[in-house]
Amino acid sequence: MKLKNAILQLEKHIGPVRATPHGTWTRYRAAPPHGRTGVEFVASPNTDEIFCVRVRTEGDEDDPSTDYIAGSWSKNIKQAIGFVRECCWPSKTRED
């Protein structure tokens, strides 16, 4: 999926997207209002394609020394959005 389309989908269904430089790559993340679990992906500096789409809780950190990768991988943005909206959307009855 193209970067522009991914950002539009996240802003439409989840919330604002923030970009964070991560070496030569840029990491993008969106979380619902008042939610901690959001959708994250990486975009290549050479193309407009996104990859490494995952659902992740804010504050979770990867641990390269143990090969631990925080979050759940998704096939695409649509699958990740569906997971966040169905399972992790903030509500009055449960906390994110």
**Residue 95 covered by a domain:** no
pLDDT in tens, 10-48: 999 999 999 998 888 889 999 888 888 899 999 887 888
Gap between the Cα atoms of 47 and 62, Å rounded? 25
**Residue 82 covered by a domain:** yes
Provide the residue range defining the domain that includes 12: 3-88
Which three-class secondary structure state does DSSP give residue 83?
Answer: helix
Q: What is the DSSP letter of 86?
A: I
Q: What is the pLDDT of residue 52?
A: 92
What's the total number of domains in the chain?
1
Alpha-carbon dihedral angle through residues 21, 88, 9, 19, given to the nearest 10 degrees: -10
Tell me: pLDDT of 93 over 60.
Answer: no
**Residue 96 covered by a domain:** no
Full-model pTM: 0.81
pLDDT in tens, 43-92: 887 888 999 999 998 888 888 899 888 899 999 999 999 998 887 665 55
**Residue 94 covered by a domain:** no
